[in-house]
Amino acid sequence: MDNQPKTAGEPVSRRSFLSYSLGLSGLAFSALLGVPLAGFALNPALVKENVKWLEVINIEEIPADQPLRVNVKFRRKDGWAEKEETKSIWVVKLGGEVIAYSALCTHLGCAYTWREEQKVFYCPCHGGMFDIQGNVTGGPPPRPLDRYETKVENGRLLAGRLMRKEG
């Protein structure tokens, strides 16, 4: 046992102080975590999506029923720096519809090519194959080719948001 004389109320006030400190620390920690989490959860509903449309090609230059790979140049802002980048997009004119595909295979993201003799998009990495509508016809890809949202302005095809089509 402790034989030291005790001041009345001292143990309670220390305990209270620690308890208040812990409580305040907990509140501050919750606020630190909670504000960004709430922002993350609400962000899609509150922020207006800013879709950047890329000018791909003159619509008249796309041959009918013949996929064409187009290298699109665009400027990307990265912090203070801005640089020019190139993105490949496959375009296909089927009937009255123009489709713009991501140039990356939906398996593991390799670049694929068009095989005219077989009429398939062929991915050399693992033998993935897609028909001209982008549907999987062979190999391991789990879903059809991803398509860009498109629109035509002044005779030019524009590509916007990339959309994933589940298989």
| Residue 93 vs 107, nearer CB to ligand FES | 107
Is there binding between residue 128 and ligand FES (CB under 6 A)?
yes
3-class SS letters over 62-112: CCECCCEEEEEEEEEEECCEEEEEEEEEEEEEECCEEEEEECECCCCCCEC
Question: Can you tell me which of 136, 141, 145, 150 binds ligand FES, judged by CB under 6 A?
Answer: 141
Strand order across the beta sheet in which 136-138 lies: 113-115, 120-123, 128-130, 136-138
| Residue 2 vs 166, nearer CB to ligand FES | 166
Please give the backbone phi and psi of residue 11, each rounded to the nearest 5 degrees, phi first.
-60, -40
Q: Binders of ligand FES among 31-70, rule CB under 6 A?
A: none
Q: Which stretch binds ligand FES (CB under 6 A): 16-24, 67-75, 100-108, 149-157?
A: 100-108
Residue 125 CB, nearest distance to ligand FES (Å)?
A: 4
**CA–CA gap between residue 132 and residue 115 (Å, rounded):** 10
Interface positions with ligand FES (CB under 6 A): 105, 107-108, 110, 123, 125-126, 128, 139-141
